[in-house]
Amino acid sequence: MASLDSSALCTSCGLCCDGTLFSRIELAPGEDGAGLETAGMRLVEANGVRKASQPCAALKGCNCTAYSIRPAVCRDYRCNLLRRLDAGETDVESALEIVASARRLRAEAMEQFARACPLPEGLSMKEYAHLAGADAMKTAQARRDNQAMLVACTLFQFHISRHFQKYSLEADPET
Ligand code: SF4
Ligand code: SF4
């Protein structure tokens, strides 16, 4: 069972559901997805694996509206920050500051992406980075012209890798 501190952190965070950390979740074989679709999640099947895109449609604010029926991958996931909190290596206040910094760095990266091209709503960070960076990083000249974007992406990626999980802004295969 999650501790009260863990719950306080996760219900003020949601970064593993809102497209910041992941582009999609995968259902386990045989997992029932009917309730998830009722909760608004659109499941697509590829190569026999059912997936739902992030930002997750079941996320409202920082709360999962499908909590009691959330997929196994969601039940099992615990980021490094949550593990450190549970291990007593940090406290809730410090952890929430790390979450706030992640949001600020994400916003700064998004601002740079938006300078590069018009951005549709509802994509994950990896998809935005892929979209904005497709041309901006191709040549040495393009990289010079887009240094602010590179810096913002690097700072965001470093923070996420350091505090949450190993991370790359490269788009995942099939996203
Ligand atoms: S990213 Fe970590 S702290 Fe944030 S909601 Fe997910 S598990 Fe909880
Ligand atoms: S089902 Fe709930 S826990 Fe899983 S990604 Fe969506 S909002 Fe997050």
Asked if residue 102 has pLDDT above 90, the reply is yes
Cα of 97 vs centre of ligand 2, distance in Å, is 22
CA gap 121, 82 in Å, rounded: 28
61-101, pLDDT tens digit by residue? 999 999 999 999 999 999 999 999 999 999 999 999 999 99
Closest CA to 106 of 38, 52, 159, 43: 159
Q: What is the pLDDT confidence band of residue 174, given thresholds at 50, 70 and 90?
A: low
In degrees, to the nearest 5, what angle opens at C-alpha 122 toward C-alphas 118 and 125? 80
Q: In this predicted structure, what is the pLDDT of residue 56?
A: 97
| Average pLDDT of the segment spanning 35-44 | 91
In the structure, which protein residues have their CB atom closer than 6 angstroms to any atom of ligand 2?
17, 25, 56, 58-59, 64, 66, 70-71, 74
User: Ligand 2 atom closest to Cα of 39?
Assistant: 1
Query: Which pTM was predicted?
Result: 0.91
Asked if residue 117 has pLDDT above 90, the reply is no
Q: In this predicted structure, what is the pLDDT of residue 2?
A: 58
Q: What is the pLDDT confidence band of residue 175, given thresholds at 50, 70 and 90?
A: low
User: Ligand 1 atom closest to Cα of 21?
Assistant: 1
CA gap 141, 152 in Å, rounded: 18
In the structure, which protein residues have their CB atom closer than 6 angstroms to any atom of ligand 1?
9-10, 13-16, 77-79, 81-82, 164
Q: In this predicted structure, what is the pLDDT of residue 61?
A: 96
Which residue has better confidence, 50 or 134? 50
User: Ligand 1 atom closest to Cα of 85?
Assistant: 3
**Is residue 21 a contact partner of residue 167, using CB atoms and an 8 Å limit?**
yes
Q: How many Cα atoms sit within 13 Å of 51 on the Cβ side?
A: 16
Cα of 136 vs centre of ligand 1, distance in Å, is 31
User: Quick one: CA torsion of 74, 1, 63, 127, rounded to 10 degrees?
Assistant: -30
- Say which residues have a Cβ less than 8 Å from residue 154's Cβ, sequence separation at least 6: none
